[in-house]
């Protein structure tokens, strides 16, 4: 669903990770993702940051242990 508030287009999406509703604002990467694939899995900024951090930690751990 697309809304326009204060001249800025935004979509309302539901985070697949924490199930919270969140807004994505025109001009952001997240907005492009939702616009291109509104039925896809999208996550909020908090979860995106957390997932990226976890991925980085896992990557670092793999480098240290040499295991998957």
Interface ranges with Zn ion (CB under 5 A): 15, 17-18, 43-44, 47
CB of 19 to Zn ion, least distance (A): 7
CB of 18 to Zn ion, least distance (A): 3
CB of 61 to Zn ion, least distance (A): 23
* 29 or 65: CB nearest Zn ion: 29
Element (H, E) at 28: none
Task: Count CB-CB contacts under 10 A for residue 14.
Answer: 14
What gap in Å lies between CA 58 and CA 68, rounded to an integer? 9
* 28 or 61: CB nearest Zn ion: 28
What gap in Å lies between CA 66 and CA 51, rounded to an integer? 21
């Amino acid at each position: 669903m697309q809304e326009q508030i204060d001249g800025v287009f935004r979509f309302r999406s539901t985070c697949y990770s924490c199930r919270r509703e969140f807004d994505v604002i025109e001009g952001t990467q997240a907005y492009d993702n939702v616009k291109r694939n509104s039925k896809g899995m999208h996550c909020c900024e908090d979860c995106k940051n957390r997932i990226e951090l976890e991925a980085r930690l896992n990557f670092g751990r793999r480098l240290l242990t040499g295991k998957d």
